[in-house]
Amino acid sequence: MAPRRSLGHALGIPFRRSRGGIAPIPPNIITATVEDETPTKVYINFAWNLDDTSVPDPSAFTLAGKIISGVVITGATVTLTVTVAYVYGDVITVDYTMPGADPLKQESTGASILSWVGQVVTNYVHTPEVSTYIDGLVTPLSAGQLALLNTMLLYWKAGLGAITNLSEFADVLYDLAGETAESSLRNMVRRAHDAVAVNSPVFTPLEGFKGDGISAYIDTNYKISADAINASLNNAAMGIYSRTGKAASTTRSAGSVYLYRFGINTNRAAAGMMCELMNNASIYGPYATDGKGLSTGIRYNNISAYSVINKTFGAEETTAAIGLTTANLNILRATGTTSYTDEQISLFFITRALSQSDINAFYDGFQAYMTANGKQV
Report how far residue 358's alpha carbon sits from residue 354's, in angstroms, rounded to the nearest whole number.
Answer: 5
CATH 2.60.40.1220, the chain: domain bounds: 7-123
Q: Write down the pLDDT at residue 18.
A: 45
pLDDT digits (tens, 9 = 90+) for 71-97: 999 999 999 999 999 999 899 999 999
Return the CATH architecture of domain 7-123: Sandwich (2.60)
Length of the chain: 377
Q: Which helix (H) or strand (E) holds 203?
A: strand 202-204
CATH 2.60.120 spans which residues of the chain?
128-372
Q: How does strand 29-35 pair with strand 116-123?
A: parallel
* Model pLDDT, residue 257: 30
pLDDT digits (tens, 9 = 90+) for 265-275: 544 444 455 56
Question: In the chain, which residues have pLDDT < 70?
Answer: 1-20, 246-275, 280-290, 336-337
- Topology at the third CATH level for domain 128-372: Jelly Rolls (2.60.120)
From residue 352, give the alpha-carbon distance in Å to each of 170, 228, 230, 264, 338: 7, 10, 5, 16, 28
Q: Which helix (H) or strand (E) holds 70?
A: strand 68-74
Give how far the C-alpha of residue 270 lies from the chain's centroid of Cα atoms, to the nearest Å.
Answer: 34
State the Cα–Cα distance between residues 88 and 288, nearest whole angstrom.
37
* SS3 (DSSP) at 365: helix
Q: What three-state secondary structure class fits 105?
A: strand
| The residue type at 273 | M
224: amino acid identity, one letter? I
Look at residue 94 and give its three-state secondary structure: strand
Cα-Cα-Cα-Cα dihedral of 349, 353, 356, 358, to 10°? -50
What per-residue string of b and e applies to 294-324 under the rule 16 or more CB within 10 Å gives b?
Answer: bbbbbbbeeeebbbbbbbeebeebebebeeb
Contact 46, 77 (CB under 8 A): yes
Integer Cα distance of 176 and 259 in angstroms:
22
pLDDT attached to residue 306:
84
pLDDT on residue 73: 98
